Amino acid sequence: MRVWFLSAGLALMCMAQNAAAGTVLIVGDSISAAFGLDTRQGWVSLLEQRLKAEGFDDKVINASISGDTSAGGQARLPALLAAHKPELVILELGGNDGLRGQPPTQLQQNLAAMIDSSRASGAKVLLLGMQLPPNYGRRYTDAFARVYSTLAEEKQVPLVPFFLKDIGGVPGMMQGDGLHPSVAAQGKLLENVWPTLKPLL
């Protein structure tokens, strides 16, 4: 009888763990796609390892595409939500919008639409903020950076203010092109995200 109770208890625990397990969907660009690296070295792969190490059963779907813009992400998102039914959506987009000089207002509209559609599907949202180098001019870089803080306040979504904090411009942290984080930076990318991400799991 005692063995039966133990077996039943273990089964219930497993069922509870499986019920708690969810899907994390990452919609990003080359930074999350680990451009120039083996994807196993990227911060998303490190996130999967961290989740396992800390006892989380969440599945990670990396739907990031190098070169993608907020408009591209918005266009792809409905199918991704329908296919994966995530509990959490991480939005890491905007860098390519800025590098192409696209209007910050358009970036804000696209990200706002992605936040709304993610929430409508029942998912939480985490927004990863980006900043541009100063050579784009202060007026534009300030307007670009404000997009993320404005959305976080208006939509009440958790925000990592600057995903590349302590990486951009730091020797050894960027690849030769000066645009993409190196292998050495991937752990720092995860550390920049983890404190805000963990409470959402």
Catalytic member of 29, 32, 118, 180: 180
Q: Tell me which H or E stretch contains 125.
A: strand 124-128
Q: Which runs of consecutive H residues, i.e. helices, occur in 21-137?
A: 43-53, 70-84, 95-99, 104-120
134 and 141 in contact (C-beta within 8 Å)? yes
Catalytic member of 32, 142, 177, 182: 177
CA separation for the pair 174, 183 (Å, rounded): 8
Can 58 be counted among the known catalytic residues?
A: no
Alpha-carbon separation of residue 35 from 2, 3, 77, 176, 192 (angstroms): 54, 52, 21, 12, 19
Can 180 be counted among the known catalytic residues?
A: yes
Closest CA to 128 of 176, 178, 81, 64: 64
- Count of H helices and E strands in the chain? 7, 5
With b meaning 16 or more CB within 10 Å and e meaning fewer, what string describes 40-49? eebbbbbbbe
What type of residue sits at position 15? M
Catalytic member of 30, 32, 64, 118: 30
Can 30 be counted among the known catalytic residues?
A: yes
Q: Tell me which H or E stretch contains 15.
A: helix 2-20
**Residues recognised as catalytic:** 30, 177, 180
